[in-house]
């Protein structure tokens, strides 16, 4: 009973936080690569454009994090499991028919996001190589990276997070330092 707040009884550690950084925040951390490009591409960069774009990014993250993750997903507890699939299982179990279609749309969106986000993030990052060498073939590089990542996933989230955690820590530190001095 002394550990009632944690259903699995796993202690919080710096290594665990680093693995979480690699698993969960990897997607959020790579989004600035293509989001900022989409905001400023083809526009005259002005104070209003930058502040408006950053405001949209900030409020999207706050609203999605607060509403979707805190109120919906974390409260959908299916025997210790969470997430959209747990929410769908709860909807099916309690037979609340009007909520089945939104749950199906949520599951489909999660799967679609899982398919489209890695190629977009990797393509955006590799496209940056064209600044250094405009004739570099980016498609084979993107395909090789995607192949490596999808093969690498078989080793589980602990290994993937353990490797990507330090990478994301360096990435977030770089974004912070460059943002501070820019």
pLDDT of residue 159: 81
Is the model more confident about 156 or about 140? 140
Q: What is the pLDDT of residues 37-86, one digit of tens each?
A: 778 778 788 888 888 888 887 887 777 767 766 666 666 666 666 666 77
Query: Chain-centre distance of CA 65, in angstroms?
Result: 11
Is the model more confident about 21 or about 173? 173
Average pLDDT, the chain: 76
pLDDT of residue 143: 93
What CA–CA distances, in Å, run from 63 to 19, 29, 69, 71? 25, 17, 9, 11
């Amino acid at each position: 009973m002394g550990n009632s707040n944690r259903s699995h009884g796993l202690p919080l550690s710096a290594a665990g936080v680093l693995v979480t950084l690699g698993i969960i925040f990897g997607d959020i951390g790579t989004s600035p690569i293509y989001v900022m490009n989409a905001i400023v591409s083809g526009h005259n960069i002005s104070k209003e454009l930058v502040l408006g774009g950053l405001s949209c990014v900030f409020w999207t993250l706050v609203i999605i994090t607060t509403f979707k993750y805190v109120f919906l997903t974390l409260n959908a507890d299916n025997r210790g499991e969470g997430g959209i699939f747990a929410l769908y299982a709860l909807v099916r179990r309690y037979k609340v028919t009007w909520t089945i279609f939104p749950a199906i749309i949520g599951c489909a969106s999660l799967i679609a996001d899982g398919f489209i986000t890695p190629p977009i993030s990797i393509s955006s990052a590799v496209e940056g190589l064209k600044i250094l060498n405009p004739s570099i073939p980016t498609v084979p590089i993107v395909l090789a990276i995607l192949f490596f990542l999808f093969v690498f996933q078989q080793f589980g989230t602990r290994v993937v997070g353990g490797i990507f955690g330090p990478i994301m820590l360096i990435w977030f530190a770089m974004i912070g330092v460059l943002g501070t001095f820019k």
